[in-house]
Amino acid sequence: MTADELRQLLTTLQAGGATVEQTAAAIQARASRELPYATIDLDRAARCGFPEVVLAEGKTPEWAAGALRRLMDAGQDAFATRVSPAQAEHFKLALPGGEHDALARTYWLPSASWTDKNLGRVVVVTAGTGDLPVAQEALVTARVMGARVEMIVDVGVAGVHRLLARRDQLAAADVVIAVAGMDGALPSVVGGLIDAPVIAVPTSVGYGAAFGGVAALLTMLNSCSAGVCVVNIDAGFKAGYVAARIVRRLHEARSLPGG
């Protein structure tokens, strides 16, 4: 619920146009929507700056579509991650007009009020082409949340000259998302080259001893580059979400007098 909506309810209560019980019920109704299989948090945008995101993985197409529809009915952006091909086909029929990114496995239905804010500068960089699905999830998430996003692909440390050739682009970023599997060394190298925060994303790409991304995760957690923080294995969504929050705060700070 927005501050304006809450103010309107309280003004109506103060003027005698509603009882305390009616006002409490209205606040509760606007805070969440009950479904047989989910409780949709409609207050998250007011608290956190972006509506609840639907993790489609593990849900039937009907359940995931139902959650997205409740967000749409509330006038909020409806965004789903880890969308399977079957779910995507169902969404296209049940919720037409959405933007499906098959590589990122996302489906997005922007609200009528959404605009391309193009805030800040987020650069997503991958060690290899195999890391692209996770990197694309990060890119789409940050873009949906209003950030300006760029991608640099396949510049891992096996050929570090490729990364050094893009140093100026990396140095111009407000936030860098470094996505890597195998040994997971890319974020440490990037963190040693630039002064922007680096969000490291380990991927499950790699041979047996990579242990499904655990080797990359441990490398990143033990990075000696102080500007590196780490999200979970294959968690492109989390990286994109955090990056967008950072650039939004930077934009707000720069918009202040003297900023």
The alpha-carbon radius of gyration of the chain (Å, integer) is 21
Over the chain (259 residues), what is each successive 10-residue block's mean pLDDT? 64 74 61 72 84 94 95 92 97 95 97 84 97 98 96 95 95 97 96 96 95 96 95 98 94 76
Q: Tokens 């509760």 belong to which residue?
A: 28
Q: Facing residues of 81 across strands? A: 55
Please report, in angstroms and rounded to a whole number, the separation of the first and last CA atoms in the chain: 29
> H helices of 117-229, where?
132-144, 160-164, 167-171, 186-191, 214-221
Q: How much is the pLDDT for 131? A: 97
3-state secondary structure at position 242: helix
- Determine the Cα–Cα distance for residues 256 and 166; give it in Å rounded to an integer: 32
Q: How much is the pLDDT for 115? A: 77
| Backbone torsions φ then ψ of 33, nearest 5 degrees | -125, 125
Pairing assessment for the beta strands 175-180 and 119-126 based on DSSP bridges:
parallel
Q: How much is the pLDDT for 103? A: 98
Q: How much is the pLDDT for 252? A: 83
Q: How much is the pLDDT for 74? A: 87
Q: Residues 236, 104: contact at Cβ < 8 Å?
A: yes
pTM for the whole thing? 0.87
Strand order of the β-sheet with 54-55 is 54-55, 78-81, 106-109, 99-101
- Determine the Cα–Cα distance for residues 6 and 30; give it in Å rounded to an integer: 10
Please, how many CA atoms are within 13 Å of residue 127, restricted to the half-sphere of its CB? 25
Single-letter residue type at 217: L
Chain centroid offset of residue 111 CA: 16
Q: How much is the pLDDT for 44? A: 86
